[in-house]
Structure 1
Amino acid sequence: MTSPDPSFAALSAKPKSSMRDLLLRIGSAAVLIPLVLWVVVLGDVLFLAMISVGVALLCIEWGMMAAPKSASRIACAVAIAALISLFTAYLHHPILSFVVLAFGSLCAGMYGHKLKIGWMAAAYGVLYIGVPAIILMWLRQTDNGRDWVFFAYGIAWASDIAAFVVGKTVGGPKLWRRYSPNKTWSGFAGGMIAGMLTAGTLSDLTHLFKHDTSASFVGLLVALATMAGDLWESALKRRFGVKDAGALIPGHGGLLDRVDGLMFAILAIGGIRLLVMLGTVI
């Protein structure tokens, strides 16, 4: 009896593996999304607790990815700086929180240099994780803060899901083959359209924007930021030589793998919110 062709066996197993990963993704999302939205609605201490846990987990993954030989030390340094700045923002001192974050980044960078792993692994990690956390806390504390956070989450999630589904279904030319060989231009277009449609729907529900055109433009910008965040994290993983940032969420990899686009979406929404407060845009 001849042995089965190993390449055929691998090919046969691939659809099963893809289906299993898809089911895990759906199951994880079905549990996590309602929980996250519920905490956003409640706000206050529970919201702080959720972001704090997320920041701590992201710092652990950052340490493992950026400095595997000193993962626990770098994770602690990054977490201390990011969490102190987050607590400062929670106390309604957003500007001071950025000052604290910058100082923490400097201290973490010096610590990384002392460990002979390079200052950038620690210093950049503080800013990469801390800035979106501060802006997210600030967003929730502004007028209609719940709705602004929903905008960030909703557009980021819709763009990410649409990009994944359309990219897998349609395929086509690769978006950035060097750093993210699985992403396609079709997926990118699907993500942009989903972001615009989601923003229009959320605007009708929340009335944050007076015109549908404004909401669609916001959706386009935030969706673009989401795609950029996803690509940026792919480049970081290539830089550090890892496939996934972690294995925390079944079917999704690490937490950083799931919130990379959301982190950039929060930056975009934060900028738009500031412009609205200044009366620059409506």
Structure 2
Amino acid sequence: MNELLVRTATAVVALVVFLLLTFFAPDWLWALFIASVIGAAAWEWGRLVKLTSIEAIGYAGVTVALLAVLWRVTGIATGAIHAPVAAAAVIPALFFWVALAPVMVQFQIPLCSRLIGLVLGWVTLLGAGIAALGLREVSSGFLLAAVTLVWIADTAAFFVGRRYGSRKLLEAVSPGKTWAGFWGALGAVAAYGAVLYPVMGVGQGVFGWVLAFVGVALLAVTGDLFESWLKRNAGVKDSGGILPGHGGVLDRIDALLAVLPITALWWLHW
């Protein structure tokens, strides 16, 4: 019970902070927040690929510096976003999540070297960071919709899987995930897309819109499984311990890393 209370309290505090920053923070404070999240995630990523603590700190510092450079180069820092440049920063991450991550997880292909692991970290973390900065610059509502999609998918997967789950989704990678939870997540996200359709006022048909939401949900599952695969290879249960009851930053943003790039490209037409 105490663990559940700690987990719930952490989630509530994180949600309040996120909402306040998303809708009320000045641009510089939002950028600082995203840089802090990406920096913490980069430190955890470095540790997962077997860097020492000092090396992981250096890796996190370089990652934040690269994010700052991209923030300026893409025009997000000034509000004059250069769409082709922003897309170039995000597309490599999307390619990884669509084409490489599912294969690596399904066939449990190990990283050939730490260097490859570090490069993949830059691709995924920087792509998600730029997407988060760009989405908020254009529309806080777009950003909130993407985060809500991940939250709905996670929540539905947990409760449906707990109630009906028996057959494991990918036991060698993540023993707690079931096919029932997987289908529950897709169904909940499809319903979310249908509800959101008239609110967003999009031009495409409702079927295509809902199908796109399901596709994004599949990427969320991929992000979750890939981080579980990284932890399994590192021999750890959590990516870190900075969030009481939740583990590390990567444990909380794993699905978002995969969802944010496609959301930015789709909704912002980069």
TM-score by length of 2: 0.79
CA offsets, 1:136-180, max 9 Å, x none? 2222333xx222212211101110111112212222100001111
AA in 1 matched with 2:45: W
Query: What is residue 137 of structure 2 aligned with on the other side?
Result: 141
Q: 1:157 aligns with which of 138, 151, 161?
A: 151
5 Å matches for 1:33-112? Answer: 33-42=15-24, 44-69=27-52, 70-89=55-74, 90-91=76-77, 92-93=81-82, 95-96=84-85
Query: What is residue 201 of structure 1 aligned with on the other side?
Result: 195
The structure whose Rg is larger is 1
5 Å matches for 1:224-235? Answer: 224-235=218-229
Q: 2:210 aligns with which of 199, 212, 216?
A: 216
> Does the CA-based 8 Å contact 1:196-1:215 persist in structure 2?
no
Query: What is the Cα-based RMSD across aligned positions, in Å?
Result: 2.6
Query: For the structure 1 residues 243 and 201, does the alpha-carbon distance in structure 2 shift closer, same or farther, using more than 3 Å as the test?
Result: same
Unaligned runs of 5+ in 2: 92-112
> Does the CA-based 8 Å contact 2:87-2:265 persist in structure 1?
no
Shift of 1:184: 0.4
Percent of matched pairs sharing the same residue: 28
Shift of 1:101: 9.2
Report the Cα distance in structure 2 between the residues aligned to 1:129 and 1:41, rounded to whole angstroms.
23
Shift of 1:208: 4.1
Report the Cα distance in structure 1 between the residues aligned to 2:29 and 2:86, rounded to whole angstroms.
19
TM-score by length of 1: 0.76
Query: What is residue 110 of structure 1 aligned with on the other side?
Result: none
Report the Cα distance in structure 2 between the residues aligned to 1:61 and 1:46, rounded to whole angstroms.
23
AA in 2 matched with 1:31: V
Report the Cα distance in structure 1 between the residues aligned to 2:3 and 2:68, rounded to whole angstroms.
33
What is the aligned residue count? 242
Higher RCO (C-alpha 8 Å, min separation 6) = 2
Query: For the structure 1 residues 182 and 49, does the alpha-carbon distance in structure 2 shift closer, same or farther, using more than 3 Å as the test?
Result: same
5 Å matches for 1:8-27? Answer: 19-27=1-9
Work out whether 1:124 is the aligned partner of 2:107. no
Report the Cα distance in structure 2 between the residues aligned to 1:83 and 1:98, rounded to whole angstroms.
16
Work out whether 1:260 is the aligned partner of 2:250. no
Shift of 1:220: 0.9
Report the Cα distance in structure 1 between the residues aligned to 2:132 and 2:87, rounded to whole angstroms.
13
Unaligned runs of 5+ in 1: 1-18, 103-116
> Does the CA-based 8 Å contact 1:67-1:121 persist in structure 2?
no
Query: What is residue 10 of structure 2 aligned with on the other side?
Result: 28
Shift of 1:240: 2.5
